[in-house]
Amino acid sequence: MRLNNQIYLDYNATTPVLEEVIDYMLPYFKDQFANPASNHIPGWLVEENLQQARQLVGKTLDANEEEIVFFSGATEAINVGIIGFALKNAHKGKHIITCKTEHKAVLESCIYLERMGFSITYLDVNEHGAISFENLRDSITDNTILIALMLANNETGVVHPIDEWITSLSHLIGVTWFVDATQVVGKIPLSVKLCKADMIVFSGHKIYGPKGVGVMYKRANKNIQLSPLSYGGYTEQGLRAGTYNIPAILGMAKAVEMSASILTEEMPRIHQLRDYFEQAILKIGNIQINGFSELRIPNTSNITFEGIDNNHFLQKLKPLALSQGSACNALQTKGSHVLLAMGHTNKNTLSSVRVSLGRFTTSDDVEIAIKIFKDTIPKLRK
Please give the Cα distance from 374 to 282 (Å, whole number).
Answer: 10
Please say whether the dihedral angle defined by the alpha carbons of residues 332, 333, 338 and 340, taken in this order, is positive or negative: negative
- What domains lie within the chain, and their CATH numbers? 2-16+262-381 (3.90.1150.10), 19-261 (3.40.640.10)
Look at strands 240-241 and 300-305 and give their pairing: unpaired
Q: What is the pLDDT of residue 153?
A: 98
Q: For 193-240, give the DSSP string.
A: TTS--SEEEEEGGGTTS-SS-EEEEE-GGGT-----SS-SSEETTTTE
Residues 6+ apart with CB under 8 A from 46: 28, 32, 33, 34, 35, 36, 246
Please give the Cα distance from 220 to 203 (Å, whole number).
Answer: 21
Compute the chain's Rg from CA coordinates.
21
SS3 of 344, please?
coil
Name the burial class of residue 183, with classes exposed (0-12), middle (13-18) and buried (19+) by CB atoms within 10 angstroms of its CB.
Answer: buried
Residues 6+ apart with CB under 8 A from 288: 303, 304, 306
Digitized pLDDT (tens) for each residue of the chain, 382 residues in all: 888 889 999 999 999 999 999 999 999 999 999 999 999 999 999 999 999 999 999 999 999 999 999 999 999 999 999 999 999 999 999 999 999 999 999 999 999 999 999 999 999 999 999 999 999 999 999 999 999 999 999 999 999 999 999 999 988 888 999 999 999 999 999 999 999 999 999 999 999 999 999 999 999 999 999 999 999 878 999 999 999 999 999 999 999 999 999 999 999 999 999 999 999 999 999 999 999 999 999 999 999 999 887 767 888 898 999 988 665 555 556 789 999 999 999 988 999 999 999 999 999 999 999 999 999 999 888 7
Look at strands 144-150 and 176-180 and give their pairing: parallel
Which residue type sits at 138? D
Please give the Cα distance from 273 to 280 (Å, whole number).
Answer: 11
Please give the Cα distance from 234 to 136 (Å, whole number).
Answer: 36
**Residue 83 DSSP code:** I
Which residue type sits at 372? I
CB 300 within 8 A of CB 354: yes
End-to-end CA distance of the chain: 31
Q: What is the pLDDT of residue 382?
A: 76
Q: What is the pLDDT of residue 315?
A: 85
Please say whether the dihedral angle defined by the alpha carbons of residues 332, 338, 344 and 348, taken in this order, is positive or negative: negative
Please give the Cα distance from 250 to 119 (Å, whole number).
Answer: 39
Please give the Cα distance from 195 to 86 (Å, whole number).
Answer: 22
CB 158 within 8 A of CB 152: yes
Closest CA to 256 of 48, 59, 4, 123: 59
Please name the helix (run of DSSP H) or strand (run of DSSP E) that holds residue 376, with its range, or none. helix 363-381
CB 77 within 8 A of CB 150: no
Please give the Cα distance from 275 to 157 (Å, whole number).
Answer: 13
**Residue 4 DSSP code:** T
Q: Alpha carbon of 171 to those of 37, 166, 194, 272, 341: distances in Å?
A: 42, 9, 17, 40, 30
Residues paired with residue 274 on neighbouring β-strands, in sequence order: none
Question: Cα dihedral angle (365, 366, 371, 376), rounded to 10 degrees?
Answer: 90
Alpha helices, DSSP H only, in 62-214?
74-79, 85-88, 104-115, 133-139, 162-168
List residues with catalytic annotation.
328
